[in-house]
Amino acid sequence: MTEENRVVLAAGAGGPEVLRLENRPRPVPGPHELLVRVHAAGVNRPDVMQRQGNYPPPPGASEVLGLELAGEVTALGEGVTRFAPGARVMGLVHSGGYADWALVHEEIAIGLPDSLGYVEAAAIPETYFTVWSNVFERAGLKQGETILIHGGTSGIGSTATMLAKAFGATVLVTAGGPEKCTAALGLGADHAIDYRSADFVAEARRLTGGKGPEVILDMVGGPYMQRNLDLVAVDGRISQIAFQQGSTADLDMLPLLMKRLTLTGSTLRARPVEMKARLARALETHVLPLLARGEALPRIDSVFPLEKVAEAHARMDGGAHVGKIVLTMTGDAAAR
């Protein structure tokens, strides 16, 4: 196995300009691992944080960037039973997705429906695993409830919007500016609140008849944390999955008691294979049938070839994207 394997590494912490393409040996699959010829890989906020030096890979994981990918299985490690060479898969990885070849544990890989192309598939694992875990399992969103999603046009926000709607919830989102609010409505949100020109607490209360949403999904943190506590409904649940504006705040926690709230949070990258495998099976059961029917598909903002990875990261840094940014490794990446 001596073919070229291009990978993306960060040459120090910094902006998109620190990203470098290097040639590395093609990885060899260990027990229960798949060697995947990567056709496309999603770009995610944790990749940006790693590039900035704020989110290192778990111990023992590769320094190659990339948390999700889609491609074709080309070789099997010892004990693999779920897939054969030639299978089309998407998968979540600790690292290593920005490469021509990557390893995926067979239990975390998900087979692609015939209708799903590699670019769309590569935009699924990180956000759909995250949303399913944090919105439907940890926060327990139910049919008929209302969810407020901060950052409604981000990769996570767009995924949460589509899945919440697919499972019968009312969706409120916050977004920055009229164009993004229009985009959020196009993704299926029932109401979009422009946080630049309106108080999202007052607007969300008005839209819910004063009671507030049952679930809030927040990636902002910082100044939003107290406002979320004040806004969420009695017996409500707040799911905190990132702190883009800081992880500290001076909080009055009385609403936690008076409204019998649940405040939950999690990260996904360092979780064990067993936990991610359970999420993969849940997605296969509940979400894959939707995707196969062309429903709740990821919104693709833009696609860049691997050699333009710095431009892809600059697109994310700029904040104008709606949905997912995807890298492609081969000329036919969009094909089935």
Q: What pLDDT, in 10s, does the model give residues 156-187?
A: 999 999 999 999 999 999 999 999 999 999 99
| pLDDT band at residue 33 using 50, 70 and 90 as cut-offs | very high
Burial of 36 (0-12, 13-18, 19+ CB in 10 A): buried
In the chain, % helix, strand, coil (3-state, to 5) comes to 30, 25, 45
pLDDT tens-place string over residues 295-326: 999 999 999 999 999 999 999 999 999 999 99
pLDDT tens-place string over residues 176-228: 999 999 999 999 999 999 999 999 999 999 999 999 999 999 999 999 999 99
Hey, what domains does the chain have and what are their CATH numbers?
6-124+269-328 (3.90.180.10), 128-265 (3.40.50.720)
For CA atoms 81, 118, 313, 242, the dihedral sign is negative
* Cβ atoms < 10 Å from Cβ of 109: 26
